[in-house]
Amino acid sequence: MALEHDQELDASGLNCPLPILRAKKTLNGMESGKILKIIATDPGSVKDFEAFANQTGNELMESSEEGGKFIFLLKKK
Amino acid sequence: MDEKKLAIIATKGSLDWAYPPFILASTAAALGYETQIFFTFYGLELLKKKLNLQVTSLGNPAMPMPMPIPVIMQTLPGMQSMMSSMMKKKMKSKGVASIEELRDLSLEAEVKMVACQMTVDLFEYDTSEFIDGIEYGGAATFFEFAGESDITLYI
């Protein structure tokens, strides 16, 4: 089931800690309940986004891999 | 809700030592930590407006190099500049943020940066050389925050 997203952030080519930092910045400008789709190429970002979701309360709705890129769907709390 | 606190003491000013404090601080801030970095001794170099951070393999036997270079050659003029440029180029090609960028992101994430007043006086730094938005303080000032922090790191 593909979830609709409200905003997209392409963090391809960026390595730790940039994907998380950019995501945080983008989420700051979003309303509660909105979904942010993040595309990343950094393999470390899989664990990072899990930790980010756990620690900040923004729900990680989906974490998948597509064509060599990692896709994350974060719901702003 | 109690916010966790992270205190970092940054005592080194070379390129390789500049990354840990800024990466840790910016990430912690992104995760919701209240973060403070206390810059002392060579760490003050990281607060300069114009950064020209250097790194050398000399005395750093663990530094990975594209090819082994005898120590005596590492001391030759120009070697340090070359190694620093190579490292910066590598960071860029691998999508790792520059120190300037990490520092800006940290400030944006409201990481508090405190410069050690004593070291500033000791090395006679001109405070106009430092970036804006930093505070000055001594060890006691630092302990006020560090004493309450959940994590304190010495870098």
Task: Summarize pLDDT for B76-91 with one digit per residue, the tens.
Answer: 999 999 999 999 999 9
Residue A16 appears among annotated catalytic residues = yes
Confidence band (pLDDT; 50, 70, 90) for A33?
very high
Residues 6+ apart with CB under 8 A from B54: B14, B15, B80, B81, B84
pLDDT at B131: 97
Name which CATH class applies to A7-75.
alpha beta
Q: Can you give the pTM of this predicted structure?
A: 0.86
pLDDT tens digits for range B48-84: 999 999 999 999 999 999 899 999 999 999 999 999 9
Residue B122 within a domain: yes
Query: Domain residue spans in chain A?
Result: 7-75
Q: What are phi and psi of B45, to 5 degrees?
A: -60, -30
How large is the ipTM?
0.71
* Matching residue, tokens 């960028």: B101
State CA A45 to chain mean position distance.
9
Range of the domain at B29: 5-56+98-154
A9 neighbors A29 (Cβ within 8 angstroms): no
Radius of gyration of chain A (CA): 11
Evaluate if residue A2 carries a pLDDT over 90. Answer: no
A14 CB neighbours in chain B (<8 A) are 95, 97
Q: Percentage helix, strand, coil, to 5, in chain A?
A: 30, 35, 35
Q: Is the bond preceding residue A17 a cis peptide, omega within 30 degrees?
A: yes
Residue B87 within a domain: no
Dihedral over Cα of B132, B138, B141, B143: its sign: positive
Best to test chain A binding among B101, B105, B106, B111 (most A CBs inside 10 Å): B105
pLDDT at B2: 65
Residue B72 within a domain: no
